[in-house]
Amino acid sequence: MLYYLIALLVIALDQLTKWVVATKMKIGESITIIPNVLYITSHRNRGAAWGILQGQFWLFYLITIIVVIGLVVYIQRLPRQERLFGVALGLMLGGAIGNFIDRLIRKEVVDFIHTYIGTYNFPIFNIADSALCIGVALVFLQTFMMGAKEKENG
């Protein structure tokens, strides 16, 4: 149940922040949080990460439905001791559903977290994207830790 609560929290935070940006800011408008590092910039994306596959909604719908079903099945079968993995799956589930809601209702994804890493202008993203990336990173971390433990015991 905890992992579904994590997913719900991600979805709620994602949708609330997107609603604020979509209703209070004009597209392209930017608010400086940390100069030359972090901005809130109202942006829309009709594709996937970095704007690839623009307008391919049915592809996104199909992939997201398959991913969500897979995540739910995996969460249901997850042993209790696999908490880090469960948190990762909950984050990924919330992120996938958060962006799915945008594509379904708005026909575009609201992005607004705008960062610069040195001189690199990182593509604008949102809470759902962050949850997905953190979830994937945690899966890699868990897999690495399990591999190291097996090697140690091997």
144 - beta bridge partners? none
Place of tokens 């399990």: 146
Annotated catalytic residue 129 = yes
Catalytic residue among 129, 131, 132, 135: 129
At residue 116, φ and ψ (nearest 5 deg) are -120, 130
Which of 95, 88, 132 shows the shortest CA–CA distance to 11? 95
Annotated catalytic residue 14 = no
Q: How far apart are CA 21 and CA 31, in angstroms?
A: 11
Q: How far apart are CA 128 and CA 102, in angstroms?
A: 10
Contacts of 33 (CB under 8 A, 6+ apart): 39, 40
Catalytic residue among 11, 100, 111, 132: 111
Return the amino acid letter for 33: I
Q: How far is CA 10 from CA 7, 27, 137, in A?
A: 5, 23, 16
Active site residues: 111, 129
